[in-house]
Chains A and B, each alone.
Chain A
Amino acid sequence: AQKVTQAQTEISVVEKEDVTLDCVYETRDTTYYLFWYKQPPSGELVFLIRRNSFDEQNEISGRYSWNFQKSTSSFNFTITASQVVDSAVYFCALSEGSYNYGQNFVFGPGTRLSVLP
Protein backbone atom coordinates (compact mmCIF):
# COMPACT_ATOMS: atom_id res chain seq x y z
CA ALA A 1 0.00 0.00 0.00
CA GLN A 2 1.19 3.49 -0.72
CA LYS A 3 1.97 5.89 2.10
CA VAL A 4 3.49 9.34 2.49
CA THR A 5 5.06 10.58 5.71
CA GLN A 6 5.93 14.17 6.53
CA ALA A 7 7.48 14.02 9.96
CA GLN A 8 7.64 17.78 10.49
CA THR A 9 4.24 19.00 11.58
CA GLU A 10 5.20 22.65 11.92
CA ILE A 11 8.32 24.67 11.13
CA SER A 12 9.00 28.32 11.93
CA VAL A 13 11.84 30.25 10.37
CA VAL A 14 12.84 33.87 10.13
CA GLU A 15 12.70 35.51 6.73
CA LYS A 16 15.73 34.85 4.49
CA GLU A 17 16.57 31.59 6.24
CA ASP A 18 16.73 28.40 4.19
CA VAL A 19 14.30 25.63 5.13
CA THR A 20 13.92 21.99 4.09
CA LEU A 21 10.66 20.09 4.24
CA ASP A 22 11.03 16.32 4.45
CA CYS A 23 8.96 13.71 2.66
CA VAL A 24 9.32 9.94 2.86
CA TYR A 25 7.16 7.61 0.82
CA GLU A 26 6.34 3.92 0.59
CA THR A 27 5.30 2.09 -2.55
CA ARG A 28 5.67 -1.34 -4.12
CA ASP A 29 5.44 0.00 -7.65
CA THR A 30 8.50 0.66 -9.76
CA THR A 31 6.69 3.37 -11.70
CA TYR A 32 5.26 6.20 -9.64
CA TYR A 33 5.14 9.97 -9.41
CA LEU A 34 5.85 12.33 -6.56
CA PHE A 35 4.32 15.75 -6.15
CA TRP A 36 4.50 18.78 -3.92
CA TYR A 37 1.51 21.04 -3.40
CA LYS A 38 1.24 24.32 -1.49
CA GLN A 39 -1.88 25.28 0.46
CA PRO A 40 -1.84 28.97 1.39
CA PRO A 41 -4.30 30.41 3.91
CA SER A 42 -6.85 30.87 1.11
CA GLY A 43 -7.18 27.07 1.09
CA GLU A 44 -6.66 26.17 -2.55
CA LEU A 45 -4.01 23.52 -3.20
CA VAL A 46 -1.46 24.77 -5.71
CA PHE A 47 0.71 22.38 -7.71
CA LEU A 48 4.46 22.98 -7.37
CA ILE A 49 6.30 20.06 -8.93
CA ARG A 50 5.97 16.50 -10.26
CA ARG A 51 8.80 13.99 -10.46
CA ASN A 52 8.69 10.47 -11.91
CA SER A 53 10.42 7.50 -10.33
CA PHE A 54 12.95 7.15 -13.14
CA ASP A 55 14.26 10.68 -12.92
CA GLU A 56 16.43 11.28 -9.86
CA GLN A 57 17.88 14.54 -11.07
CA ASN A 58 17.46 17.32 -8.60
CA GLU A 59 15.44 20.25 -9.77
CA ILE A 60 15.70 23.94 -9.06
CA SER A 61 13.08 26.56 -9.79
CA GLY A 62 13.98 29.98 -8.51
CA ARG A 63 14.19 29.76 -4.72
CA TYR A 64 12.70 26.25 -4.71
CA SER A 65 14.68 23.05 -5.10
CA TRP A 66 13.81 19.38 -4.78
CA ASN A 67 16.02 16.45 -3.86
CA PHE A 68 14.75 13.00 -4.90
CA GLN A 69 16.62 10.00 -3.50
CA LYS A 70 15.19 6.61 -4.39
CA SER A 71 17.65 4.83 -2.11
CA THR A 72 16.04 6.45 0.94
CA SER A 73 12.53 6.85 -0.57
CA SER A 74 12.69 10.58 0.06
CA PHE A 75 11.62 13.62 -1.91
CA ASN A 76 12.65 16.68 0.07
CA PHE A 77 11.81 20.28 -0.70
CA THR A 78 14.08 23.23 0.09
CA ILE A 79 13.16 26.89 0.03
CA THR A 80 16.16 29.18 -0.13
CA ALA A 81 15.98 32.67 1.35
CA SER A 82 12.45 32.16 2.61
CA GLN A 83 9.89 34.93 2.39
CA VAL A 84 6.74 35.68 4.35
CA VAL A 85 4.68 34.72 1.27
CA ASP A 86 6.05 31.19 1.57
CA SER A 87 3.98 30.71 4.73
CA ALA A 88 1.58 27.88 3.95
CA VAL A 89 0.97 24.20 4.46
CA TYR A 90 3.01 22.05 2.10
CA PHE A 91 1.87 18.59 1.07
CA CYS A 92 3.90 15.82 -0.48
CA ALA A 93 1.90 13.33 -2.54
CA LEU A 94 2.47 9.99 -4.25
CA SER A 95 0.67 8.81 -7.34
CA GLU A 96 0.69 5.34 -8.80
CA GLY A 97 -0.75 4.44 -12.15
CA SER A 98 -3.47 1.85 -12.17
CA TYR A 99 -4.93 0.55 -15.39
CA ASN A 100 -8.36 0.09 -13.83
CA TYR A 101 -8.43 3.20 -11.67
CA GLY A 102 -6.34 5.54 -13.78
CA GLN A 103 -4.50 7.02 -10.84
CA ASN A 104 -4.10 6.40 -7.11
CA PHE A 105 -3.14 9.72 -5.53
CA VAL A 106 -2.25 9.86 -1.80
CA PHE A 107 -1.25 12.91 0.25
CA GLY A 108 0.97 13.17 3.28
CA PRO A 109 -0.27 14.93 6.43
CA GLY A 110 1.40 18.21 5.51
CA THR A 111 3.98 20.53 7.06
CA ARG A 112 2.90 23.98 8.19
CA LEU A 113 5.62 26.52 7.42
CA SER A 114 5.58 29.90 9.11
CA VAL A 115 8.04 32.50 7.88
CA LEU A 116 8.39 35.33 10.33
CA PRO A 117 9.41 38.83 9.24
Chain B
Amino acid sequence: EAGVAQSPRYKIIEKRQSVAFWCNPISGHATLYWYQQILGQGPKLLIQFQNNGVVDDSQLPKDRFSAERLKGVDSTLKIQPAKLEDSAVYLCASSPVGAGGSGANVLTFGAGSRLTVL
Protein backbone atom coordinates (compact mmCIF):
# COMPACT_ATOMS: atom_id res chain seq x y z
CA GLU B 1 0.00 0.00 0.00
CA ALA B 2 1.31 3.44 -0.87
CA GLY B 3 2.13 5.65 2.09
CA VAL B 4 1.24 9.25 2.85
CA ALA B 5 2.72 11.51 0.19
CA GLN B 6 3.84 15.06 0.94
CA SER B 7 5.41 17.78 -1.14
CA PRO B 8 7.58 19.72 -1.29
CA ARG B 9 10.11 18.09 1.04
CA TYR B 10 11.99 21.34 1.58
CA LYS B 11 11.07 24.97 1.16
CA ILE B 12 12.99 28.14 1.98
CA ILE B 13 11.17 31.46 1.88
CA GLU B 14 11.56 34.94 3.28
CA LYS B 15 9.27 36.25 5.98
CA ARG B 16 6.00 37.68 4.76
CA GLN B 17 6.02 35.39 1.72
CA SER B 18 3.47 32.63 1.27
CA VAL B 19 3.91 28.87 0.99
CA ALA B 20 1.69 25.87 0.40
CA PHE B 21 2.16 22.22 1.30
CA TRP B 22 0.34 19.31 -0.24
CA CYS B 23 -0.61 15.95 1.25
CA ASN B 24 -2.14 12.83 -0.27
CA PRO B 25 -3.21 10.35 2.41
CA ILE B 26 -3.39 6.59 2.24
CA SER B 27 -6.22 5.52 -0.02
CA GLY B 28 -9.42 5.03 1.94
CA HIS B 29 -8.27 6.88 5.05
CA ALA B 30 -11.06 9.24 6.01
CA THR B 31 -9.16 11.19 8.64
CA LEU B 32 -6.29 13.54 7.77
CA TYR B 33 -4.14 15.51 10.17
CA TRP B 34 -1.63 18.33 9.80
CA TYR B 35 0.97 18.63 12.54
CA GLN B 36 3.66 21.25 13.10
CA GLN B 37 6.95 19.99 14.54
CA ILE B 38 9.38 22.67 15.68
CA LEU B 39 12.97 21.51 16.06
CA GLY B 40 13.45 19.64 19.33
CA GLN B 41 9.74 19.38 20.09
CA GLY B 42 6.98 16.87 19.62
CA PRO B 43 4.43 17.26 16.84
CA LYS B 44 1.60 19.67 17.58
CA LEU B 45 -1.78 19.26 15.91
CA LEU B 46 -2.80 22.11 13.64
CA ILE B 47 -5.94 20.73 12.04
CA GLN B 48 -7.86 17.48 11.71
CA PHE B 49 -10.24 16.61 8.88
CA GLN B 50 -12.74 13.81 8.68
CA ASN B 51 -13.55 13.38 5.00
CA ASN B 52 -13.85 16.99 3.80
CA GLY B 53 -15.02 18.44 7.10
CA VAL B 54 -12.92 20.08 9.79
CA VAL B 55 -13.30 18.38 13.16
CA ASP B 56 -10.59 20.24 15.10
CA ASP B 57 -8.74 23.42 14.16
CA SER B 58 -8.47 24.89 17.63
CA GLN B 59 -4.67 25.24 17.44
CA LEU B 60 -4.48 26.57 13.89
CA PRO B 61 -3.32 30.23 13.77
CA LYS B 62 -6.16 31.25 11.54
CA ASP B 63 -4.84 34.73 10.85
CA ARG B 64 -2.08 33.23 8.71
CA PHE B 65 -2.70 29.50 8.30
CA SER B 66 -5.42 27.88 6.22
CA ALA B 67 -6.09 24.33 5.14
CA GLU B 68 -8.56 22.60 2.92
CA ARG B 69 -9.54 19.11 1.88
CA LEU B 70 -12.10 19.86 -0.76
CA LYS B 71 -12.89 16.39 -2.10
CA GLY B 72 -12.13 14.47 1.05
CA VAL B 73 -8.89 13.07 -0.34
CA ASP B 74 -5.78 15.23 -0.67
CA SER B 75 -5.21 18.37 1.35
CA THR B 76 -3.34 21.67 1.14
CA LEU B 77 -1.93 23.68 4.04
CA LYS B 78 -1.11 27.31 3.33
CA ILE B 79 0.79 29.92 5.31
CA GLN B 80 0.40 33.57 4.37
CA PRO B 81 2.27 35.65 5.39
CA ALA B 82 5.00 33.51 6.93
CA LYS B 83 6.83 34.49 10.10
CA LEU B 84 10.23 33.41 11.35
CA GLU B 85 8.60 31.25 14.03
CA ASP B 86 6.83 29.20 11.35
CA SER B 87 10.13 27.47 10.58
CA ALA B 88 9.31 23.84 11.28
CA VAL B 89 8.53 20.49 9.72
CA TYR B 90 4.91 20.15 8.64
CA LEU B 91 3.76 16.58 8.99
CA CYS B 92 0.70 15.10 7.39
CA ALA B 93 -0.85 11.94 8.77
CA SER B 94 -3.89 9.87 7.99
CA SER B 95 -5.92 7.18 9.68
CA PRO B 96 -8.98 5.12 8.91
CA VAL B 97 -12.18 6.30 10.57
CA GLY B 98 -12.82 4.26 13.67
CA ALA B 99 -16.00 3.42 15.42
CA GLY B 100 -17.62 6.40 17.07
CA GLY B 101 -15.58 7.43 20.07
CA SER B 102 -12.64 5.17 19.27
CA GLY B 103 -9.18 6.52 19.94
CA ALA B 104 -7.48 3.40 18.70
CA ASN B 105 -6.57 4.37 15.19
CA VAL B 106 -2.93 4.31 14.27
CA LEU B 107 -1.75 7.45 12.50
CA THR B 108 0.45 6.89 9.46
CA PHE B 109 2.77 9.80 8.74
CA GLY B 110 4.33 11.20 5.64
CA ALA B 111 7.99 12.22 5.44
CA GLY B 112 7.15 15.85 6.19
CA SER B 113 7.80 19.21 4.56
CA ARG B 114 10.61 21.21 6.12
CA LEU B 115 10.03 24.97 6.02
CA THR B 116 12.75 27.52 6.67
CA VAL B 117 11.67 31.15 6.96
CA LEU B 118 14.51 33.68 6.63
Q: Which residues of A contact B (CB under 8 A)?
A: 4, 31-33, 35, 37, 42-47, 50, 52, 91, 95-110
Given A44-B111, A100-B55, A101-B55, residue A108 in contact with residue B42 (CB < 8 A): yes
Specify which of B41, B43, B103, B111 is in contact with A103 (CB 8 Å cutoff): B103
Q: Does chain A have a CB within 8 A of B97?
A: yes
Given A33-B103, A98-B101, residue A103 in contact with residue B95 (CB < 8 A): yes
Contacts of A104 in B (CB 8 A): 56, 103
A-B contacts, CB under 8 A, total? 79
Within 8 A of A (CB), among B80-118: 89, 91, 93, 95, 97-98, 100-112, 114
What are 27 A-B contacts with C-beta separation under 8 Å? A33-B103, A37-B109, A44-B109, A44-B110, A44-B112, A45-B91, A45-B93, A45-B107, A46-B109, A47-B107, A52-B104, A91-B43, A95-B103, A97-B101, A97-B103, A99-B100, A101-B55, A101-B56, A102-B98, A103-B95, A103-B98, A104-B103, A105-B45, A105-B107, A107-B43, A107-B44, A108-B42
